[in-house]
Amino acid sequence: MERLLMLLLLSRVSSPVQHSLKYFLTGSTAVQNVPEFMGAAEVDGIVMGYCDTDTKIVELKLELMKIFFRINPDQLEEYNRECFKNYPIFFRALINSLKQLFNQSGGVHVLQRMDACEWDEETGEVHGFLLYAYNGEDFLSFDLETLTWIAVKPEAVTIKQRWDTHKYGNEFHAMFLTRICPDLLRTYVVFLKSLLERKELPSVSLLQKTPSSPVSCHASGFYPDRATLIWRKDGEEIHEDVELGEILPNHDGTFQTSADLNVSSVPPEDWRRYECVFHLSGVEDDFVTRLDKADIRTNWVSPPEFPVIVVIGVVIGLVLLPLFIVGLYMWRRNNNGFRRANTLDTSPQLSAISLDRISSPDQYCSED
């Protein structure tokens, strides 16, 4: 997997002592209903704020950060200046240069950048990253040891050579990644301590729609969203016949996710070899749920087993059905043969027959 995409995935996972601050910047051209420039900041994978050139406002996602920036308005003003002035101009110019390098004219083009730092709370160790991607592929990265750029694509060599001559700019990148960003991160971690340390444990259930449907391992009510849900067989993680769901928000601020296991080819005696494992970042113990039919919740109802007496009753009913039909169409004989009665016969002979003594349709007929 490409380095930038890998780092984006790793940004969702952190340990209790290792923290991260990441800035994601995106510029684009000719993308309908998408702002020309967007930016977002994350602390330990939690979105702190967002901005774009359409709304022209820094939207703070956390109530604690709203309080923080009321206390530190200069920082908020700096974010506004970067979001709506400096970076949109820079990204627009860089995209135009990249289109020339790749011999491109119009069309959709997307430029992404990530500035990030990581800080280990126990050791004090700091790491920094600055990466560019163009149209979904890694393009340039900054080397903190040499203070030079690494061209991932041949087309990036020209820009690398040009940027390597900007000594002041490269020194500023190094200072931001190793000093300014970690200092900001430490400040944010202290201010967001109650939020970052919040842990809500999930409720894990096994669900199945029908006996032939996949078994869904469903975890809900956990916080934060840095979690994994997998299926294991004999203690080993499996991917075949497993479909992983997304982590989705609940209405109360917690999260939910699921992982489906196709059991159509699993013999009943092998079910207990499978287990669903939920891991929440920062929590040592995993939630392990063994695959057991007795623990599966379902809305499916088995068809009722019909007692023998009911079956006999149905058979008798089918046998008597012709008799019932004959009873509806009463016939009587006259000199010209049989004719259908249009109205109920109220002759004394018929009226005198007690209903509880009628046992044959012949009793409805008499000879003239």
Q: What is the distance between the alpha carbons of residues 94 and 152, in angstroms, rounded to a whole number?
A: 16
- 146 and 106 within one domain: yes
Q: Are strands 37-43 and 18-29 parallel, antiparallel or unpaired?
A: antiparallel
- Given 147, 166, 196, the domain boundary residue is 196
- 179 and 50 within one domain: yes
- 278 and 185 within one domain: no
Give residues with Cβ within 8 angstroms of 303, minimum separation 6: none
Residue 141 placed within a domain: yes
DSSP string, 52-115: ETTT-S-EE--HHHHHHHHH-HHHHHHHHHIIIIIHHHHHHHHHHHHHHHTT--SS-EEEEEEE
User: Is residue 166 within 8 Å of residue 28, measured between CB atoms?
Assistant: no
Give residues with Cβ within 8 angstroms of 109, minimum separation 6: 28, 29, 30, 95, 98, 99, 134, 135
Q: What is the distance between the alpha carbons of residues 124 and 134, in angstroms, rounded to a whole number?
A: 33
User: Is residue 286 within 8 Å of residue 298, measured between CB atoms?
Assistant: no
- The backbone torsions φ and ψ at residue 189, rounded to the nearest 5 degrees and listed phi first, read -65, -45
Q: What is the pLDDT of residue 350?
A: 30
> Which candidate, 171, 167, 211, places its Cα nearest to that of 301?
211
Domain region containing 95: 3-196
Domains contained in the chain, number: 3
Q: How far is Cα of residue 251 from the mean position of the Cα atoms in its chain?
A: 15
Residue 304 placed within a domain: no
Q: What is the pLDDT of residue 18?
A: 86
Q: Which residues of the chain have pLDDT under 50?
A: 1-15, 305-306, 308-312, 314-316, 319-321, 323-368
Bridge partners, 38 (sequence order): 26, 52
Residue 109 placed within a domain: yes
- 135 and 35 within one domain: yes
Helix or strand or coil: residue 336?
coil
Residue 306 placed within a domain: no
Local structure of residue 209 (DSSP, 8 states): S
- 278 and 135 within one domain: no
Overall size of the chain counted in residues: 368
Q: What is the pLDDT of residue 182?
A: 97
Give residues with Cβ within 8 angstroms of 286, minimum separation 6: 277, 278, 279
Residue 303 placed within a domain: no
To which residue do tokens 């004999």 refer? Answer: 234
User: Is residue 264 within 8 Å of residue 212, measured between CB atoms?
Assistant: yes
- 93 and 171 within one domain: yes
pTM over 0.85: no
Residue 148, both tokens = 């030079």
Q: What is the distance between the alpha carbons of residues 247 and 226, in angstroms, rounded to a whole number?
A: 9
- Given 249, 269, 297, the domain boundary residue is 297
- Given 133, 163, 196, the domain boundary residue is 196
Q: How far is Cα of residue 63 from the mean position of the Cα atoms in its chain?
A: 25
Give residues with Cβ within 8 angstroms of 325, minimum separation 6: none
- 43 and 186 within one domain: yes
- 188 and 152 within one domain: yes
Residue 332 placed within a domain: yes
Query: At 37, which CATH number?
Result: 3.30.500.10
- 51 and 167 within one domain: yes
- 170 and 125 within one domain: yes
- 251 and 138 within one domain: no
- 175 and 257 within one domain: no
Residue 305 placed within a domain: no
Q: What is the pLDDT of residue 302?
A: 55
Residue 31 placed within a domain: yes
Cα distances from 209 to residues 67, 157, 231, 297, in angstroms, run 46, 56, 19, 9
Q: What is the pLDDT of residue 324?
A: 43
Query: At 235, which CATH number?
Result: 2.60.40.10
For the chain, strand residue ranges (E) read: 18-29, 37-43, 46-52, 59-60, 109-120, 126-134, 137-143, 148-151, 203-207, 215-222, 227-233, 236-238, 242-244, 248-249, 255-261, 274-280, 287-290, 296-297, 331-334, 337-340
